Amino acid sequence: MQISSRFTIAVHALICIEMFKNDRKVTSDFIASSVNVNPVVIRRLLQQLKKAGIVQVMRGSGGTDTARPIDEITLLDIYNAVECVDEGGLFHFHENPNQLCPVGRNIHAVLDVRLDEIQKAMEKEMGSVTIQDVLNDTKRLA
Domain CATH code at residue 119: 1.10.10.10
pTM of the model: 0.87
The pLDDT tens digits for 97-140 are 899 999 999 998 999 889 889 989 999 999 999 999 999 999 99
Total structural domains within the chain: 1
CA-closest candidate to residue 29, choices 51, 68, 57, 69? 57
Q: At what angle do helices 5-20 and 75-82 cross, to 10 degrees?
A: 120
Q: DSSP secondary-structure letter at 130?
A: B
Question: What residue numbers bound the domain in which 16 lies?
Answer: 5-141
List of residues 6+ apart from 87 with CB closer than 8 A: none
The pLDDT tens digits for 9-20 are 999 999 999 999
